[in-house]
Amino acid sequence: MRRTADIDALQDVLCAALGSREPVCSLGHLAQDTAAFATLDPAVVERPTLVSGGVPYAPTGPVPALPALDELLGRAKALGVPQVLVAQVRRGDDTSGLRRAGFVPVAVDPECVFRVAGDVDEALRTRVGADRLGELRRRRAEAAREVRWERVPLRGLGGRAGVREAFVALHEDTGLYTADALDALARGPLAERTEMLVARRGSTVVQAGLLTRSHNGRGVYCLALATHDDAPGAARDLQEAGLYGVYLDAQRSGLAWVHLGRGDAGRMRGLGADLFVPVDHWLRAPGLAPAEADADAGEATLSAFAAPQVAAVPVPGPARFRRQPRFDVVDLSSNTNPFLGAASHYPELDTAELARTYLSTVARLPGHPGVGALTADHVLFSSGAVDGALLLLSALASPGERVCVTSPTFPLYDHFARVLRLPVVDVPLRGEDLDELDVERILAAEPRVTLLCDPNNPVGTRLDPARVHALVAGGRGLVVIDEAYVEFSEKPSYAGLVARYDNLVVLRTLSKAWGLASARCGVVLARPGVVEALRRVQVPFGFTDASQRAVRDRLTDAARVLYSVRRVRAEREWMAAALADHPAVERVFPSETNFLLVRLHKHERVMDRLRDAGILVADTGRAIPDTCRVSIGERRANHSLLAALTAAL
């Protein structure tokens, strides 16, 4: 809840629960955060504390403005209370005033939000998988045969004493959801937007919770939901069935999100939550060392590799506030048309959860050691891997600094460098298969950035890992490895080494093996300070909500992707053998990609005949004489190519 008035109303509820005029209690009384306070001195946990924030119902509130903070500290002094707790502050908010006032952050469970995003079942299938969705639907159906759900307006509880008493009984273990607290909530300004969700088995209330519409009208807060059932596991099943019903009701009501409160992120992911907002309590207490003044825990220290012109500017515009979610505010800052639906909203800027999904998915793939140690701070999504390369050159090199490429290679590296007025040093690959890296010449050139394509495009081969390691370890500049085709290779990725080397950047894409070329999603894996530099030159809102949904959906279907990769590899080997035996072909280069580099006997004649036959292949003859690059297609397309080659003889 982002309105001070709403948080003030919850303060009144807390006072009613405590039976006092002021929200003063021990930290130990806040049972939900027992684990978070366990690291504190027991005397601090038991000492009387003035509490400011949305306790007990766990929505985060805005950071108190300086006058409000001064007033809070003055109240504590007047009451003789030695400690002050500002509860449930989003980590992305400006907490500099709290730091200066001597408050110390105490990390607690994150806020967890289920974004409805159209059809609930499709959203759940994407986030938790078809099996888990089936389980939730089955639990809802089984519960519905025995349990009847209803919603009771909070203003209408006066004549429903049994419901009121049942709610209190179900929540009695917390000590904060008392009858007086419930009555205070029913008398306050939140009552008009609040309903009690009640489930009955016969005449017995077995589930009771509170649902409050957000002040912007776009979502609902699940302030409390308690369930009791004597059968083993039944309470959990009924809890999940109740939440699934809340999701469906939100969809029918046209709402965009359901706020599940704070909780364990792993458990909430299993319930379909897809937005997790880091939260801290801020405590000022005798004996606690103050936090570092003006430290910004939300941003990485800028990398020393950042170009001076980039180091001198901040992250542009709204991207600065990507860690400050906007789902629960009234947003009048974007100058869009409010009368044309959800498409008028700008894309979600906080992609941390999607980054975690990407990393956890890739870490399970063969050949990706060490990726599991990376965090969302190591990830930047770009508009394809090629956009990532442009961002890197823009952010990390200044005009006049050398860029090294290793021809034959992806031509846009050279193109982008020259557009940015960066001198290009070409150190060609050597060897019969064009896979030998001349490390000594590259190091002697002292480039600011070296761009390697591995697996190589257009050749299809992999570089010697020992030489790549020698280049990364021995150079003072950045080494960027473009792994657009690495999923088709049986040799390992370099992605896991990003955490070890501050001068290593790995580019990935979902356009190739993942089959999402239309979604335009590249991935930059780098040290957080490098990622911070890239954000300073990246255009905000380039990664659309539709693309984010497509990526999330595909990442949860990795088994299908792996199966398709195996099919591509098998077809590649068949096609390589067929081409090698064809009289129009002089040589087929070895490949660890989804394409083959082919040297032709009569290059110009064959290319003309292929065009006449309506078959497009990449003419690589300028980079590698007499060659073309052939993508691996389905068997029918591959037969068409072979037939056209025969006709060209």
Determine contact, residues 598/588, Cβ cutoff 8 Å. Answer: yes
Q: What angle do CA 265, 254, 263 make, to 5 degrees?
A: 15
Query: Which residues are bridge partners to 599 per DSSP?
Result: 587, 627
Q: What is the mean pLDDT of the chain?
A: 92
For the chain, residues classed under CATH 3.40.640.10 are 350-556
Give the architecture-level CATH label for domain 561-647.
Alpha-Beta Complex (3.90)
Instruction: Read off the pLDDT band of 573 (50, 70, 90).
Output: very high
Determine contact, residues 168/143, Cβ cutoff 8 Å. Answer: no
DSSP 98-163: HHHTT-EEEEEEEEEEEE--S-HHHHHHHHH-HHHHHHHHHHHHHHHTT-EEEEEEGGGGGG-HHH
Q: What angle do CA 515, 518, 522 make, to 5 degrees?
A: 75
For the chain, residues classed under CATH 3.40.630.30 are 113-276
Average the pLDDT over each of 182-196, 218-232, 405-419, 584-598 and give the range with the smallest value. 218-232
Give the model confidence (pLDDT) of 334-373 as tens digits. 899 989 887 888 898 889 999 999 999 999 999 999 999 9
Determine contact, residues 149/245, Cβ cutoff 8 Å. Answer: yes
Task: State the pLDDT at residue 290.
Answer: 67
* pLDDT > 60? residue 332: yes
Give, as one character, the DSSP assignment of residue 394.
Answer: H
Region 488-509: what's the mean pLDDT? 97
Region 482-487: what's the mean pLDDT? 98
Q: Which position has the higher pLDDT, 182 or 486?
A: 486
Task: State the pLDDT at residue 33.
Answer: 79
Give the architecture-level CATH label for domain 113-276.
3-Layer(aba) Sandwich (3.40)
Average the pLDDT over each of 198-212, 284-298, 624-638 and give the range with the smallest value. 284-298
DSSP-derived 3-state class of residue 405: strand
Average the pLDDT over each of 291-295, 373-377, 467-471 and give the range with the smallest value. 291-295
Instruction: Read off the pLDDT band of 232 (50, 70, 90).
Output: low
Cα–Cα distance measured from residue 10 to residue 188, given in angstroms and rounded to the nearest whole number: 9
Q: Give me the CATH topology for the region 350-556.
A: Aspartate Aminotransferase; domain 2 (3.40.640)
Q: Are strands 504-509 and 522-525 parallel, antiparallel or unpaired?
A: antiparallel
CA-based end-to-end distance of the chain: 73
Chain position carrying tokens 């823009």: 394
The CB density around residue 355, as the number of other CB atoms within 10 Å, is 20
Region 385-389: what's the mean pLDDT? 96
Cα–Cα distances (Å) from 84 to 110, 276, 295, 310, 350, in that order, read: 21, 26, 21, 40, 31
Query: Which residues are bridge partners to 83 per DSSP?
Result: 49
Average the pLDDT over each of 86-95, 311-320, 611-620 and give the range with the smallest value. 311-320
The CB density around residue 516, as the number of other CB atoms within 10 Å, is 20
Query: Which residues are bridge partners to 384 per DSSP?
Result: none
Give CA torsion, residues 353, 554, 546, 323, to 10 deg.
10
Cα–Cα distance measured from residue 461 to residue 438, given in angstroms and rounded to the nearest whole number: 15
Task: State the pLDDT at residue 231.
Answer: 66
Alpha-carbon Rg of the chain, whole angstroms? 30
Chain position carrying tokens 């003789």: 80
Region 175-185: what's the mean pLDDT? 87
Determine contact, residues 111/91, Cβ cutoff 8 Å. Answer: no
Task: State the pLDDT at residue 34.
Answer: 80
* pLDDT > 80? residue 515: yes
- 141, amino acid identity: A
* pLDDT > 90? residue 603: yes
Residue 235, burial from CB neighbour count under 10 angstroms (0-12, 13-18, 19+): middle
Residue-wise burial string across 254-282, b where 16 or more C-beta atoms lie within 10 A, e elsewhere: ebbbbbbbbbebeebbbbbbbbbbbbbbb
Chain position carrying tokens 């870490």: 363
Task: State the pLDDT at residue 35.
Answer: 83
Region 589-607: what's the mean pLDDT? 96
DSSP 544-587: -HHHHHHHHHHHTTHHHHHHHHHHHHHHHHHHHHHHHT-TTEEE
Question: What angle separates helix 234-252 from helix 130-144, to the nearest 10 degrees?
Answer: 100
Which phi and psi (to 5°) does residue 176 adopt?
-115, -10
Residue-wise burial string across 416-442, b where 16 or more C-beta atoms lie within 10 A, e elsewhere: bbeeeebbbbebebeeebbbbbebeeb
Task: State the pLDDT at residue 296.
Answer: 43
Which phi and psi (to 5°) does residue 17 adopt?
-65, -35
Q: Are strands 48-52 and 83-90 parallel, antiparallel or unpaired?
A: parallel
pTM of this structure: 0.88
Task: State the pLDDT at residue 294.
Answer: 42
Give the model confidence (pLDDT) of 130-170 as tens digits. 999 999 999 999 999 999 999 999 988 776 778 888 898 98
Query: Which residues are bridge partners to 403 per DSSP?
Result: 424, 449
Residue 402, both tokens: 């050398």
Give the model confidence (pLDDT) of 286-327 as tens digits. 988 765 544 444 567 899 999 999 999 998 888 888 888 888
Task: State the pLDDT at residue 177.
Answer: 85
